[in-house]
Each structure stands twice: as C-alpha cells, then as structure tokens.
Structure 1
Amino acid sequence: MAAGRRSARNKGPRAVYNEDPFVSAGISDESSSERPEKSSKKKARKWEDHGSDEEFVAGPEPDVVDDEGENEDEGDEDIEEEDDMDEEDDDAMDVDEIASTPKSKSKSKRAPASKLRKQTTAQKAQTAQESIAPLTSSGAESHHRGMLDSRDQVSKFMHYTLTYGSDDRDLGLTIHMRGRWRWGRDATYPTRLSLEQTHGESDSPCGPTLGVTPEDVEKERKEGWAWYYDEEIGEKFRKRQRVDKKLKEAEARRKYLPQPKKNTHTVLLGPANDQQAFELGYHEAMDVSQAWEEQQSEGSDQAKTKLHQGWLINIGQKIQCMAWAPNQDDLPQYLALAVPVTEDQTKKYMNPEGEPLSSFIPSPPYPAAIQLWEFMGKKAGYQTNTIDMDVEPHLRLVLCTEWGHLRQMAWCPMGRERRGQVDNDLIDIGLLAGVWGDGKVRVLDIKLQKGSKKLQIVRVTSPAFEAIMPSTICTTVAWLSPSDIAVGCANGFVALWSILPSSSPDPYLYHPIHTSYVLNITSGYPTYPHLVSTISVDGETRMWSIIDPIGENTNTVRVRLSSSQLSYSPVLQAFCSSDENEYGRLMPIRRFFATNASGRLNSTVSALAPCSFWHPSLLFGGTGGEVMATNPMRRIMYGKEPQWQQMWFIHHWVPGPDDNSPGVSRFHEGFRAENPGVVKSGEGRPMGLSLTTIHDEDTHVTALGWNPNRSCAGWGSAALGCGLLRVEDLTV
C-alpha cells in the first residue's frame, strides 16, 4: 500500500542543508527518453517545496497496478489531489511522510484525499510499517519490543502483567508470594509464622514450587540426578576424584590453614552503654547472648529468654567466600568457607623473576583449604528449626589443595532425591564448584565419614571435574542444572560445560558477553533456568538466554564502579545487585532495563547474601561493617509503599597495640526497623559534596549467606575481614 503524501501548498522558502551534486549538474536518475517535460517540471517542483516526499529518494520500486489494471502517472495529478487537503490532513500525515518510500520514476496507486481524511491513527501506523518494510535489510533479522511503563497510572493487574508476565505460572507465583509475605510483620526479617504457613487448596499449584509445575520439580529431583547414581557414568565421575587420607593433622594445620599472629581476638559485645570484653581463641566459638541479660515479657508467665542467640567464631584470617550446603533435611547443617593462608606462608611460592601478580593471569600454586563447619539445629516449630545453643559448632572437614586461593564457591542448589548412600561408610553432602587462583574451575564431591565427630583432614589430588579455557582464566561459576555449570572468564566470554565424564573437555557454548573480566554470574533457576545474568568490570550488567545469546541479550543501567554482587530471587522474580554507591538494586525479569532501589547502607555495598528460595528478605553488607536486612516485595508491587530495613549489627575494628595483635572488634546490635531516605544525610558532606569513607579492610563484611534449606531458612551468616564469623537465627 502506498503511503499518503503531504500537501504541496507552498508555505514559504525552507532551508536547504544538503544538495545533490547530480541534480545541480542537470543529471537526473530518470531516463532522458521518458517524458522529459514532466521530469524537468518535477525537478523544479522539488527545489521549490522541500516538504514534498521527493526529498527522500530510496531508489526505484516496481510499478503498482491499480484496480482497473492500468498504471497511473505520478506527478501533476497527484499534486492536484494534494491541493485539496486541508491543514488537518497536512499535520496528520507526518508519520506517513517519515515512513514512506518515495518513487522518482516508479508509478503507484494513490487514494483520494477524502479517504485519507477518514484514516484512523492505527491505520496510519500500519501504513507506515508497511511502507518501511521494503527497506529492511536482507541480512540477520532484527527485532525490538516496546513495553508500557509500569510506574504510570495503570491498574494493578496491568502492573503485575508488565512486571511479572501474563503466564498463569508467573501470576500464580506472584499472587501466592504476595499473600504470604506482604504483611507488615515480614517487612525486614522473615517471621516464623510465615515460614510455618501451610498451603491451602486455593493456592496456585505453581506457587509453592516457584513458578514450576510440581511434576517438573519431582522429575528433576529424580531423573536429573539419575546420572550420579548410574553404575557406569556415576562411578566414573566419582573415581575421577582422588584424595590422600594419609595427611597428618600437624602438617595440614601448618601448611594449609592460616597461622594467625596471635591466638586470641578481643571482642566487645553487649548494650551500647555496658559492653563487655571477651577473648576469642583461634577456631573457638562463643555464644553472643552471654553479653546480654535474660529478659521476660511483661505480663507473661513464660521463662526468661536470651537475646541475640548466635555463634561467633574466630577463623583467624579474612574469610574469602562461604556457602551453606543445600539438601540437608536433618538437624545438622554445614557451612563451607575458604580462608587464604598468610603472606608468610606464601613467600616460598613466589617467583621474584616472574610476572607481577594479576587477576588476569594464573597465580602460583598456593596451598589452600576448604573448611566445613557443622552447626546443630533443634525443632522450633512444625517445619522450622532454630540453632541449638547447647551444642557448640565444630570443624568437621578440611579439604587441602595446592591450586591457589579459592576465589569463589557454589553448591549445586538443585533438589535431590536420596537413593541411599553410594558408599555406606560416607555421608553425601553435595557437589561443590569453585574457581581457584590457577584459573581453573573444579567440581568436588563432598562426603563425610559416617558415625564420627572427629575432624577429617584430606588432601585432594584430583577433582571430579576440571576445566579451563586457553589464553584466559576462569573467574566465576554458577550451576545451571545437576550436570551443567556456567563459567565466566577474564576475557569477557562465558563458557557452559557439562560435568559428565566425556572424552572432550571443550564447552558446548563459548560466547562473548562482555568486553572484559566477568565478576559474577548467576542463572534464573528455577523460574527461568535458561536465562543467565552476568556482571563485568566494564560496569555492564547483562541478562541473556543460553538458547540465543545474541538475539536475546539485554542490559540495565551501567554503573561507573563495577560491583561483584549478583543473585537471583525466585520469590521476587528479579535479579539482585548493588550500584556504585550505597544502594541495593533489583532488576525484575520482565523489566530488566529498569532498576528499583532496595535498601541503603552508610557505606559501599561489599557483600550480598545469595537470595533464598523460601522468603524474599535480602541481606546486604557494607565496607563500614554494617549488615542490613530488607524485604522489597511491597515496594515492587506497590510503588508508593514505604520500604523498611533493619540492621542486624554494625562491626567496627581497630588495630591492636602491636603488630602481632589481631586487633579489637566491637559489635552494635540493631533493634528497630527504619525507613531509609532517598537522599543521603548531610553528615560528612561539606559544601554539598558527596564523600565516600575508606574503612579498614578488617572492618569489611566480606561474605553473607542465607541457609538454603527450608527448615533453617531464617539462619543468616556473616563473614568479616578480621576473620570473625557470626551465625544467628534471624527469624522473628
């Protein structure tokens, strides 16, 4: 369909910004033998009225035949029809003018002006699309999608549709979580009442299973792990991992575990006006509630309760990373953490003539160890457990390696049906993936000795899976399925591997996503397992599909100072991260390009707990030592709702009187929820400038974690730069 034309009525001279040298020389693209008089007339008309379509010349088009089967000339007849159009038609045809494809020598069919006046806006837009279609490139297809802004005055249903999608599984999950976590009691921490809540018959079948049909969840728990219990594939996978159990404990502690300068760490705990000093030894645990008096509710006959019940452990050195083991349905819970050895222990591995240390090259084979700590729980409700303060946590397993420092670790979070022990003498804990300093990604099969509480120390000589890409190193890892992992690289590429035994070590996908070092990677499991989000040193945060990484690729607002925090919350259906300042941010799947602020700290965000599958609360940690919890669900669903946050604690560290002292740590406990302001307070802002405070490295919060098991979903853990580890049941 040919597009309508603007009126040819002369409205005065218009500026000419570009001239065709061929036209100025008297050379036209029309044939000299074909109606020369009309050609010269049209040429003169073109320079007189630049509002005509003749300006936009896109080349010849095939002739269009009218209804009577005869070709009509374009020229004087068209000009006479255009003269009949009034000013209203002139303004209404702007869209058609921009999108139309004029013809210099072709012939087209034109509709009368009376019909053009009756065109609706939708018809004109359709005309514009049809007229611009011939200009589409014949190469790779490109497409775009526009969406309404959910911040406009739209209905709640439209807001939910734009934010979460129109699929019944998405809306069912949204309504299910809204009915469970919208209450004021869950504004910051998850409450035990909400965690204990059972599902009624009116709930969506996909709500409790996070948007996935219950049949698919059960199928993954059984068939997804069939390869591990297979007599051939599983046995070959387990035999690849070789450990040396003859390692002596004295040698392991001297070589693979950090040697602190001083065995005791001074800790100040208790009320702000009456704090007590405690001496905490190396690998020693203490009950935080010792510094607080027992209290009893007014008018209650119940026994006195202790405040801030939790464990504080002195690990002795900065905790690099940590993660709770999933699929633990019993009372014991396991926390894995990695602590680099001291500089004195790594001196002999340094090559003075070698290249300087860099994150883009493999590091020397430093000795390192993965520590597995056991915490005991006890029943607190029908479905929830709390921490058993009568059983002191202890170190159960030390995995010694010589692959450099462990930079990141990730347990396989997929549900797993236990089919009995492969080895009756061992307890399966799970599959642990990690990235080591030598640039390789490895997967370890973690097991514990059954019926023994003694410390186990083993040296891993060969992992169950190992891979690296040439000319680069691996930087971050995430699980996609029980048998697939996604790995980010220092060159901006992302590789997908299957950990099943294979003769080919190559990944089945290796694609450039960023232009530089990939800091973190996570998947949209279980709601959108095919979607992956990555964050890089270049400041870009991208979401892309493993089905089509090129076509299905988008990014959100770029930050100037890149952040390494990234996690996916299936309860919120959003990726969680932080900006270059003090704010956390949420990026919903359907509106990844638009970020929502979520909480504010008084210092730069340095840690984010992996999002829980059982509640929407987020844990953020800052360089100033503060740990904050918030529930952003009400804020996402209702834009005008205030957002509340609550401090777990604030940690301060100061150096000791001598170099051999580990320093002194002080804890201030949070006690009430607050509504953070959008603008930072005026404190520390002379002359209206925003300043960033640089804190001591030992004050920083280096790692956070939520327990991924439903019975202990309210357990939180925080690791500090001074080597202290705090674990507490945060359920209200």
Structure 2
Amino acid sequence: MQRRSTARTTERRRYTVDAFAGVPELAHVVSEDDEEDAPIHRHEDSAASEGSDESEDLAGLDDFDDESRVQPQTPHPKTKRASRPKSTLTRVNAGKDTAEVAAAKRVWARDLTLPSRHEDADGYGGFHHSFIDNNDAQHDEARRAWERYADSGCAKVFEDYQALNVLGSKQSAEHIVESQACDFVMGPAAEQKLFHLHTQQSLSLERPWSRTGVPHAETNNDSTSDERSGFMVNLGGRVQCLEWVSAQRGSSQYLTALVAPIIGHEVADPDAGDNSSNIQIWCLEADVQGRVDNTMPPRLAVVLRYPWAGVRMMQWCSTHRRPSEIDIPNLLAIIAEDGVLRVCGVPLDLIVDDTEYKLLEKSLELRVANCLCTCIAWLSPTRITAGYSDGRVRIWDLSQVQTGEMTPIKTIRAHNSYITSIVAKSSDVLTQMVVVALSGKITHISYAETATRTTGTVSQINHMTMPILIYHEFLQRVISYDDDGAVYTYTLPGSGRPKIVAKANGLITSMASSPCHPCILIGTADGKVISANPLQADVRSKQGTWQQKWFTHEWRAASHNDVRNNTNSACTENPSGKALSRILEGYKAECVDSVAPTPFRMVEGKTAITALAWNPNIHVGGWAAAGMGGGLVRIEDIAV
C-alpha cells in the first residue's frame, strides 16, 4: 500500500467560480492573486540563499528589545450575565433573610426547650421582638396603621353597626353557665393531693407542691414559695380557644377563653335548647419581676354573650399600639357556627372589680353568600383576611364598610377544598399568606396591589386531624404537622425541604408560638403539652433536637352507677363515683426521634389539650396557658 505524499506537484484544483471574472478593472488584481497562489518549487541553492538572508535579518535583533518581544494577550475580564429586573414579589419572597434568622439563632442558641427569662452576660437568652425591624420601626408602622384606622372612619363603623349592652343582675343570672365542678389530683408523683374546684374558682400552683397543702381550693394563699408561678382555673365548660390580649404594658393581663358547654353521656339534641357558649375574659396580675402574682387569684372580668349560634373561633388584632396615642377599643374577630365573620370592639380600660355580663346584640357582619368562613388572620387594624369553605381567601377592608360596600376587596383562589387554617404577615409593600386545606396541601400567597402569586408545596398527611398553621416570627417559616405527630417547618415561598422540629406520640390538637421568644407549645389528644425550640433544628442539627413535656393531663369518667350524683358537694377521700383528672409534671428533656413509630391510643375526649396560648406582651413573655377538654385551664410562667 502506497502512502499519499503531502508534497503537491500540481496546482490545486479550483472548485469555486470567480464572481469577478471578465471585469477589466479587476484584471490586475486577479493576476496578482494568481502569482500569490502559484506553487513554489524550492531548490537547495535558493534555500541556502534564503537561510543566509534570514540570518542577516535576525542579526540586528536583540533579545532584550521590548519592541521585539512578543506581547502576551491579556484575557478578557469575566462579566456577569445581565439579569432581568426583579419585581417586588421576587425581592420580598426570595430576598436575603439570613441576617435576621442568624441573629435569632445566636441569641437563643442555648435555649433547648423552654425560654430564658433574662439575658445573660454574653447576650444569650431573654425576651426580644423580631430582629427584622427595631422597636422604633415597629412602633412607627403600628402608628401609621392606627392613624389610617382613625382617618378612615372605622371607629364610626363600630358605633353604627355594634350594640354592646351591659346586663343587669337579673338578666346576668340567666346567662350564667351551669356549674360544672372538677375534681383532680396534682402534685409530686408520690404525694399527689386531691382538689375540688367549682366553676370560676382557681387554685394556686404552689398548693399542690407545698408540704402543708390542704386538699381543697382557697382563693387566698399564704405560701411564699416561688417555685411555680401560676393557677389552675375551672371555666365550667370545654375550652375551645385561648387568646391573650396584646398591647397590655401594665401589670394587668387579660386572657380570653371561648367556653362551650360540655356534652354529657345523654344523647344531645341540637334543637332542644339554646347554645350556652360564651366568651370569658380573665384578669391576672403580674409582680415586679414579671411573674404571675400568686397572691392575687385570677378574676373573671367580662362575660360576653351573643344571640347568634355558638362561636367556633376568635382572634384579637395583635398590632402594636400605644394607648396614649389613640383611644380605641380592642378589636376582636369572631367566627360563629353560622359561618359569618363578625368584628366587634371590646373596651378593656373601663373594667371594674366585679364581673360584668355584656350582651353583644349587634356587630359588624361580613357575609359571603353560600359560603362559610372557616379561619381568620388580621393584616392591620383596617384589614382582615379570611379563609372559606370554597377554597378561596378573601381580604376585607373595614374602612370601606362605611361607604356601604360589604364585599371583599380581593378574592384569591387557593385550594379546591375546605380551608382549615391561615397565617398572614403584612407590610406596607406586600402581604404574604400561607393557607392549608383539609387535604393537607399548604399554599403560599403573595399579594400586592399590582400582582398576586400563588405557590403550592408538597401535601402533608392529614386524614385524622384538622391541619393547623402557626407562623414562627424568628425562623421566618410556618409550622404544621401530620397524622404521625411530626411537627414540620416550611419556608414561606414554598421552596426547600420541610424540617422536623418536634415529635409528639399522638394526634396533635393545638399549637402556639410566641412573638417574644422562639419556643412553641404542642398539645395532643392524649393530654400532653410539649415545648420545643425550632431554632435548635438548625443550630444543633448534628447533635439532635430536644423537646420537653410541660405537663400531662388524664381524665376518667365517673362510674355508671353514680353519674347523676356528680354535684358540687364536698370532695370525699374516695371519689370513685365522680369524674377525676390527674395532672403529672416534672418531665426531663428528651431527644427528638423522628423515625420512631407513633402509637395511637383511645382516650376520653376530655383528656385532650384543646387550646394553647403564649402571652404576646414582652415583659410577661413567659406566661403560657393550656386549656383542657374537661374545663380546666393551667396558667403558668414557664420561663427559666
């Protein structure tokens, strides 16, 4: 086989057509091109002469001559690709919030399960507001919100649409809930004592743990122990909701409880009588250290009755305000069983020493035809958002009610099913809402005046529980749970994987977060109340996350032979014929086991923890309240 030689002996054949052939003006150019393309035949003599000429030309060059040096090519600087201008939604949703979250993690890195009362020498612990804005910025934003409330005429709206009357002594007697006594044992595990509470009676938490405890309730308390600061209160009915009143900077703190009648063993007929549910406002006093004053028992300040169906949910407007700037009542949003959203103003600055019974005959009603309101969240003193049974979220503006427009200013399609919970975070630029439906799907909504964006996330498993959402101010995330008792955190834009921060061995029935510290409370159907710090899931991700039981509640029914004898008689030593509750406490912290199986137990309905609430006022931020299905409420300062 003969190899092809690289040396050409003939002219390269042309395969292209000269477009300028035949043009006289370009004839000389074509001849010069032919000369350049002509083949070159090198001989030895010519090669030698060319070599000598080349050596003569290079003889005059110097290696150190800068002009003769080959200049290196400088690389082109790397430039970033031009980015598209970001909209307001993108800047707020996908903006950097690591600085605020990192500040919260740095402050509360040592709080494993319970909040710390005071800040130590290194700057750890204590109660703080959000690190996103300082206190002055929060007060300025709140001041502008309340100024819009006053300028828009919302106060005139409540004067026209609301009728809140004080009942007399004879009329108030008709609205008093039938007394439901509670018997319970409480104290050290080996030395528990039996106590008996009538309706609207309280018991100091010091009594069960004192060595000289008396097995009955007394309003006055001479004990000076400061180990436990709080009370046990019997509300006389099932506690459906608990809410602390915000913006209370004095020693008096107000706890609002939604109480429903307890259904007994007999078959209940919904049409047999009227609904005796009510809203109770209790007043508690704080000492100079910010703890619950055990020397002053809780006092029932206001009992709010209403002529319509029973109330399912309520929420106070928690916007920061200064009472000295604008004299306005506290705004309370109510959802009744008829599916109508009602807003009323409740004045708390004129509360007297005796209990006042008030009848809310008429209030501002926000109705939607053929639809039930299921959940609410305040955006500002003039705006409120609500979720409905048709899967839509509606935003109401109270200032437009004065003009006669009773329609929402915005309707957003969020789900195809029943919305169970909604949380919202509003500012002057953007409103962010997170809603969860009965199917367990969580949706994030970003709403501005010019655009609206809806983002869905992965659905969680909720077949046996009603999914609830709470917003964690310091983590910038929302918290929810599934049927296995696992508590997850979700980012607001819906990106990223959910992270487990706690695990409850049972069905979760209630949750609560605080604006003063990062700890949350979790209540279960089997009577456990668990405290955890979700920030620890990021700070100590490799060491594990910790949680701790605050207390557990167990309830057993009376024997069938003596069910009708469960009266308010004196408590005996052997109350076998009466319903009895047992409260256990003093649990150690435990590490969260996210892969452990969840055992399910059949328990009585009155055992469940039905409501939880943290006090939002910063000087008493460690106060927590837990409501039980049997009518008991535990109020305690659990900060360490």
TM-score bracket for this pair, using the shorter chain length: 0.7 to 0.9
Q: Which has the larger radius of gyration?
A: 2
Which residue in 1 is equivalent to 2:634?
726
- The 8 Å contact of residues 328 and 709 in structure 1, kept in 2 or not, is answered as yes
Aligned residue number for residue 379 of structure 1: 288
Q: Is the 8 A contact 2:487 2:503 kept in 1?
A: yes
Q: Give secondary structure in 2 for the equivalent of 1:339.
A: strand
1:588 is aligned with what amino acid?
Answer: T
The whole-number CA distance in structure 1 between the counterparts of 2:154 and 2:139 is 22
* Residues 32-84 of structure 1, C-alpha deviations (whole Å, 9 max, x = no match): xxxxxxxxxxxxxxxxxxxxxxxxxxxxxxxxxxxxxxxxxxxxxxxxxxxxx
> Do the aligned residues in 1 keep the contact of 2:519 with 2:534 (CA within 8 Å)?
yes
Equivalent of 1:226 in 135, 147, 153: 147
Structure 1 pair 678/231, CA: closer, same or farther in 2 (3 Å)? closer
Question: How many Å separate the matches in 2 of 1:568 and 1:343?
Answer: 33
Q: How does 1:311-326 map to 2 (within 5 A)?
A: 311-326=231-246
Task: Give secondary structure in 2 for the equivalent of 1:211.
Answer: coil
8 A contact 1:556–1:595 mirrored in 2: no
Q: Specify the alignment match of 1:596 in structure 2.
A: 499
Q: Any conservation in 1 of the 2:130–2:474 contact (CA below 8 Å)?
A: no
- For structure 1, the 5+ residue unaligned runs are 1-121, 127-144, 146-160, 201-206, 296-302, 353-363, 423-427, 682-689
User: Are residues 1:431 and 2:331 paired?
Assistant: yes
How is 1:331-370 mapped onto 2 (pairs within 5 angstroms)?
331-341=251-261, 350-351=270-271, 366-370=275-279
Out of 633, 640, 664, the residue aligned to residue 542 of structure 2 is 640
Which fold has the larger relative contact order, with Cα–Cα distance below 8 Å and residues 6 or more apart in sequence?
2
Q: Deviations over 1:393-413 (max 9, x none)?
A: 010001110221111111111
Structure 1's 646 and 199: CA in aligned 2 closer, same or farther, altered over 3 A? closer
Asked whether 1:612 is paired with 2:517, we answer no
Match of 1:6 in 2: none
Q: 1:540 to 1:401 in 2, by over 3 A?
A: same
Q: Does 1:535 align with 2:436?
A: yes
User: 2 CA distance for matches of 1:270 and 1:214?
Assistant: 41
Q: Report the secondary structure of 1:398's partner residue.
A: strand
**Inter-partner Cα distance in structure 1 for 2:538 and 2:551:** 26
Identity, % of aligned positions: 24
In the TM superposition, residue 713 of structure 1 has moved relative to its aligned partner by 0.7
Cα distance in 1 between the residues matched to 2:594 and 2:192? 33
Q: TM-score normalised to the size of structure 1?
A: 0.66
Amino acid at match of 1:407: R
- Secondary structure of 1:678's aligned partner: coil
Q: Distance in 2 between matches of 1:484 and 1:673?
A: 41
AA aligned to 1:390 is T
Out of 665-674 and 335-344, give the one that drifted further: 335-344
Q: How far 1:485 moved relative to its partner?
A: 0.6
Distance 2:533 2:427 in 1: 20
| Alpha-carbon distance in 1 for matches of 2:275, 2:351 | 33
For 1:579 and 1:194, locate their aligned partners in 2 and report how far apart those are by CA, in whole Å.
Answer: 35
Deviation at 1:293, TM superposition (A): 3.3
Q: 1:253 to 1:581 in 2, by over 3 A?
A: farther
Aligned with 1:267: secondary structure? strand
C-alpha deviation, 1:527, in angstroms = 11
Secondary structure in structure 2 of the residue aligned to 1:439: coil
CA separation of 1:442 and 1:374: change in aligned 2, threshold 3 A: same
CA offset digits 1:117-161 (Å, max 9, x no partner): xxxxx9xxx9xxxxxxxxxxxxxxxxxx9xxxxxxxxxxxxxxx9
8 Å CA contact retained: 2:506, 2:599: no
- 348 and 615 in structure 1: CA distance in 2 versus 1, 3 angstrom threshold: closer
Q: Match for residue 180 of structure 1?
A: 107
Match for 2:308: what amino acid? W
Q: How does 1:292-303 map to 2 (within 5 A)?
A: 292-293=209-210
Q: Deviations over 1:631-670 (max 9, x none)?
A: 1212124532311111100100001233243610101103
Aligned partner of 1:53 in structure 2 is: none
Instruction: Give CA deviations for 1:304-357 in whole Å, capped at 9, x if unaligned.
Output: 84433320011111111110000110000001111123569x9999559xxxxx
**By how many angstroms is 1:175 displaced?**
2.6
Distance in 2 of aligned mates of 1:726 and 1:440: 31
- Aligned residue in 2 for 1:544: 445
1:670 aligns to what? 586
Pairs within 5 Å for 1:238-253:
238-245=159-166, 247-253=167-173
Residues 466-505 of structure 1: pairs in structure 2 closer than 5 A: 466-500=365-399, 501-505=402-406
2:345 aligned with 1:445, yes or no?
yes
Query: Structure 2 length as normaliser, TM-score?
Result: 0.75
C-alpha distance 195-484 of structure 1, shift in aligned 2 (>3 A): farther
Report what 1:12 is aligned to. none
Are residues 691 and 290 of structure 1, via their aligned partners in 2, closer, same or farther at CA, if it must alter by over 3 Å? closer
The structural deviation recorded for 1:227 is 3.8
Alpha-carbon displacement from aligned partner over 1:189-234 (angstroms, at most 9, x marks no partner): 101123999799xxxxxx9543136664233221210144449542
Match of 2:487 among 584, 590, 598: 584
Q: 1:250 to 1:699 in 2, by over 3 A?
A: farther
2: CA distance between counterparts of 1:569 and 1:529? 18
Q: How far apart are residue 236 of structure 1 and its match?
A: 3.7
Q: CA deviation at 1:483?
A: 1.0
